[in-house]
């Protein structure tokens, strides 16, 4: 890690926008700003906290680099808690690079990835999980992922973890008191308390660290359309997407590959895949499609098995459905025609008229457990790993206590659980963990 007292700078915006922002943080920020920027009009308190100034940015020779807006944020009321200024200039890379070069010539150094946010963390303004939430917002792929990250940024994850840590700290203290003063504190009563509280903490940690829910919040759920050719899979997919990107045709077997599209239902992202019809075939190209369809089916969160309700089920369909598991939703498509089949618990719909589509979307959301995807759950694998480490340590502690072993044994495991939870918020100040978190950030964040 480079010197944390340096004044750092970076382009904070991505390429291609119509505005670029150069951000500078550190004790020399304002002296640098005053040497490369001047407001066009003389205004009273021009450099006041949070005030936008319209002016020119200059290089060291006094040549104008661009017209720009500049704003100062005074320590500690800034993103990093240090003196910070930002210059907004015309977009495109050249202007921002020229300003960056000037700012560096005036003594700032290029920021490391995530260094602005790291400074906010090191100064205690935010904890580690909140720092990661910033990245979560930037990288969110659905509104539910964004909402979960905002909740995390506001301390949603930290608050629950903080409570769990407090409970564990009080248990370690209780065990230590019981060991030090065996005459005054009843070991049986203490053991009972340790069991109760520990089990409560394990229940809480399990409820917020479900891997499948986290993945769905972060990346979305995979929904695969399956069924024989010509039953209407592409039509159902199109109806779900409300667009016409899949090829709809009445020649069996034309969807030869897996076609995946993204759609958002109630804020939850779905990766919808239309597969090649699952049927035995000799055609080499179609065979590959069928294999890919089988792979997609295996990894799906939800399988929409489409039947053509206007014709009898084939033996192949019956066989496929005999192997269905809890991920399946059976669709009786073409309800606008005369229906000749029924199937227990199936969704009846017509991709052609749109009838039954609402029932279908409700069922999909129900299948992926959308109601459980509340914004307090952990979405990051790193947090879940830490929670799982804590859960195993607490479960070990519970085993010691339940088998009437000395309570100190349990205290060791409970302390280990505390450290694991401390890694989520960064309270344990584990350098390696902190470095790992910030290495994934972009420069300028």
Residues that bind ligand GDP (CB under 6 A): 227, 229-235, 248-250, 255, 277, 333-334, 336-337, 350-352
Which is nearer to ligand GDP, 26 or 356 (by Cβ)?
Answer: 356
Phi, psi torsion values for 348, nearest 5 degrees = -90, 130
Query: Measured from the CB atom, is 332 or 434 closer to ligand GDP?
Result: 332
Q: Minimal distance in Å, beta carbon 263 to ligand GDP?
A: 17
The CB-of-280 to ligand GDP minimum distance in angstroms stands at 16
Residue with the two structure tokens 């979305």:
220
Residue for token pair 């060291």: 60
Residues in the chain: 445
Shortest Cβ 224–ligand GDP spacing (Å)? 13
- Residue 294: CB minimum distance to ligand GDP, A: 16
Provide, rounded to whole angstroms, the least separation between the CB of residue 414 and ligand GDP. 56
Least distance (Å) from ligand GDP to the CB of residue 266? 24
The nearer residue to ligand GDP, 269 or 334, going by C-beta atoms, is: 334
Nearest CB to ligand GDP, comparing residues 95 and 333: 333
Q: Which residues pair with 237 in a beta bridge?
A: none
Q: How near is the Cβ of 67 to ligand GDP at its closest, in Å?
A: 55
The Cα 113–Cα 127 span in angstroms is: 17
Give the residue with the Cβ less far from ligand GDP, 101 or 311. 311
CB of residue 13 vs ligand GDP: minimum separation in angstroms?
A: 43
Cβ proximity to ligand GDP: between 11 and 223 the closer is: 223
Phi-psi sector, 116: left (phi>0), alpha (psi -120 to 50), beta: alpha
Label residue 38 exposed, middle or buried (CB < 10 Å: 0-12, 13-18, 19+).
middle
The residue of the chain with the least Cβ separation from ligand GDP equals 232
Q: How far is the CB of 250 from ligand GDP (least distance, A)?
A: 4
Return the number of the residue (21 or 231) whose C-beta is nearest ligand GDP: 231
Structure tokens at 212: 């499948």
Min separation Cβ 364 and ligand GDP, Å: 18
Q: Looking at beta carbons only, is 102 or 333 nearer to ligand GDP?
A: 333
Give dist(CA 212, CA 379) in Å, integer.
Answer: 10
Instruction: For ligand GDP, give the closer residue by CB, 3 or 338.
Output: 338
Residue nearer to ligand GDP on the CB measure, 184 or 250: 250
Give least dist CB 288 to ligand GDP, A.
Answer: 17
Of 351 and 384, nearer to ligand GDP (C-beta) is: 351
């Amino acid at each position: 890690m480079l010197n944390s007292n340096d004044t750092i700078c970076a382009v904070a915006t991505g390429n291609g926008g119509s505005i670029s922002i150069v951000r500078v943080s550190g004790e020399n920020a304002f002296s640098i700003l005053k040497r490369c920027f001047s407001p066009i009009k003389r205004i009273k308190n021009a450099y006041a906290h949070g005030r936008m100034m319209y002016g020119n940015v200059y290089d060291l020779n006094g040549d104008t680099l661009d017209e720009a807006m500049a704003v100062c944020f005074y320590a500690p009321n800034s993103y990093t808690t240090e003196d910070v200024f930002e210059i907004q200039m015309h977009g495109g890379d050249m202007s921002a690079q020229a300003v960056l070069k000037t700012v560096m010539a005036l003594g700032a150094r290029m920021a490391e990835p995530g260094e602005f946010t790291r400074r906010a963390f090191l100064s205690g303004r935010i904890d580690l999980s909140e720092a990661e939430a910033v990245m979560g917002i930037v990288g969110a792929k659905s509104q539910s992922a964004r909402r979960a990250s905002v909740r995390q940024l506001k301390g949603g994850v930290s608050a629950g973890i903080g409570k769990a840590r407090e409970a564990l700290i009080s248990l370690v203290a209780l065990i230590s008191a019981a060991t030090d003063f065996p005459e005054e504190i009843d070991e049986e009563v203490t053991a009972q308390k340790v069991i109760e509280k520990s089990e409560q903490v394990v229940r809480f940690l399990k409820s917020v660290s479900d891997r499948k829910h986290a993945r769905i919040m972060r990346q979305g759920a995979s929904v695969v359309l399956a069924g024989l050719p010509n039953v209407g899979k592409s039509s159902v997919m199109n109806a779900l997407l409300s667009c016409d990107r899949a090829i709809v045709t009445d020649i069996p077997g034309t969807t030869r590959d897996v076609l995946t599209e993204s759609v958002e239902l109630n804020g939850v992202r779905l990766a919808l895949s239309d597969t090649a019809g699952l049927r035995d075939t000799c055609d080499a190209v179609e065979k590959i499609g069928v294999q890919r369809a089988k792979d997609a089916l295996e990894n799906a969160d939800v399988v929409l098995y489409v039947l053509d309700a206007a014709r009898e089920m084939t033996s192949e369909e019956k066989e496929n459905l005999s192997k269905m598991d809890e991920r399946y939703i059976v669709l009786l498509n073409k309800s606008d025609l005369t229906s000749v089949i029924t199937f227990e618990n199936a969704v009846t719909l017509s991709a052609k008229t749109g009838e039954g589509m609402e029932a279908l979307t409700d069922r999909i959301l129900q299948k992926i457990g959308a109601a459980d995807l509340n914004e307090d759950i952990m979405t990051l694998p790193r947090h879940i790993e830490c929670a799982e480490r804590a859960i195993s340590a607490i479960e070990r502690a519970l085993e010691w206590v339940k088998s009437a072993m000395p309570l100190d044994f349990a205290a060791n495991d409970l302390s280990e659980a505390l450290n694991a939870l401390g890694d989520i918020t960064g309270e344990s100040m584990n350098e390696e963990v902190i470095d790992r978190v910030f290495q994934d950030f972009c420069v300028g964040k």
